[in-house]
Structure 1
Amino acid sequence: MTSYPMHTLDTAPAEAKVPLTVLRETFGFVPGAAAVMANSPALLNSFFSAFGHFRGGGTFTPAERQVLLLSNAVANGSEWAVAFHTLEALADGVPREAVEAVRRGELPRDPRLAALSALTVAYIEKRGHLDETDVKAFTSAGFGEEQLFEVVAGVAISAMTNYAANVARPPLEPVVEPHAWTPGA
């Protein structure tokens, strides 16, 4: 359990109420990472804006976005985020076997999803210093070079939620609990 306040719409600072309201309307609950990020309206609003652009203006399909976000969560060892993005990935049509592979730290069998997951993890592990092999594997799977920068956005967005959740350790929401995950399990 967390020692950081888990904000609700009633307890959140005024500057955090709009994103929390939209998230509650979208998911039917305020996700735990957002509830703790509301302790810093600057963090929550930065995440909310960036994610809106990533989702609304990005070129990845919903399933590809979730593979990217789930791969980030696993690479960052974020228990809350892995569980949450497992729920979302399954809802967005990522095949269960692909979700399970990513959760194990493996690549999905689908070559396109595998290339996206591998590049995402490479960005994190190499701190952005990709080599030509990383780029070639990604573009050979049908992604454009401009999408390399869209992955940067996904990695940055995930860093906000993953790191906040890693620090505060919010409890899993009941709908997310069946997807609980621990590193190395």
Structure 2
Amino acid sequence: MPRIPVHTVDNAPAAGRETLRRLEKRFGRVLNIHGGMAHSPVVLETYAAINGAIAEHGTFDARTREAIALAVGAVDECAYCQSAHTVSAKAAGFTEEQTVAIRRGDTGDDAKLAALLQVAREIAGELGHASDAAWDKAVAEGWTDTELTEVFAHVAANLYTNYFNHYARTDLDVPAAPALDA
């Protein structure tokens, strides 16, 4: 059961209404995560600012962004984000089977993506630390220092939503991600 009310555009605090309206337009409806964040405009505006900066300055394509989100969501065991990003990853071109594999830590024969996701997993699971071995492997696979710096922003954005969902106990309003043991 959620701890925080899920607002609509009409009943959200005034300071967050316009942001909630933009999110509603982008996603076709107010998602429970956004409606919950709207309870505190600072939470919703922080989310929007992080994602706005990534949209404006980020260099990763949709597939890479979604793979990072799936990997971080799996490390953090966030059912909501794993579910939402499974939908988004499929829209970015992954199959459902590939989304499950990424969440399990298997990227098939894409060694370059695997190296980046290992760095992301370590950042998420090791309190911001990434091993020299993971970093060096990512560099060897062709990721630049700029891209390895950028991955931190993507991990932070996903930690923000993962932790919010844990904290608020956000109800799932998107199709559930397939179980990892399936």
TM-score with structure 1 length normalisation? 0.89
Stretches of structure 2 that go unaligned for 5 or more consecutive residues are: none
CA distance in 1, matches of 2:18, 2:179: 32
C-alpha contact (below 8 Å) 1:54/1:154 kept by paired residues: yes
**1:108 counterpart residue number:** 107
Q: Deviations over 1:115-172 (max 9, x none)?
A: 2221110111222222321111112222111112211111111121111111222222
Is 1:180 aligned to 2:177, yes or no? yes
CA distance in 1, matches of 2:26, 2:7: 17
**2:35 counterpart residue number:** 35
Stretches of structure 1 that go unaligned for 5 or more consecutive residues are: none
CA distance in 2, matches of 1:149, 1:39: 32
Please show how residues 40-119 of structure 1 align to structure 2 within 5 Å: 40-103=40-103, 105-109=104-108, 110-119=110-119
CA distance in 2, matches of 1:31, 1:81: 12
Amino acid across the alignment from 1:180: A
TM-score with structure 2 length normalisation? 0.91
Q: Secondary structure at the match of 1:130?
A: coil
Q: CA RMSD in A?
A: 1.8
CA distance in 1, matches of 2:149, 2:14: 33
1:112 Cα deviation from its structure 2 partner: 2.4
CA distance in 2, matches of 1:43, 1:99: 28
Amino acid across the alignment from 2:4: Y
Q: Deviations over 1:26-54 (max 9, x none)?
A: 11011221111112211111110111111
CA distance in 1, matches of 2:58, 2:48: 15
Residue correspondences, number: 181
* Distance change >3 Å, CA 184–CA 11, structure 1 → 2: farther
CA distance in 1, matches of 2:55, 2:115: 20
Q: Deviations over 1:95-121 (max 9, x none)?
A: 433211123x22211222212221110
Q: Secondary structure at the match of 1:146?
A: helix
C-alpha contact (below 8 Å) 1:79/1:181 kept by paired residues: no
72-81 vs 136-145, greater mean Cα deviation: 136-145
CA distance in 2, matches of 1:112, 1:35: 36
* Distance change >3 Å, CA 13–CA 43, structure 1 → 2: same
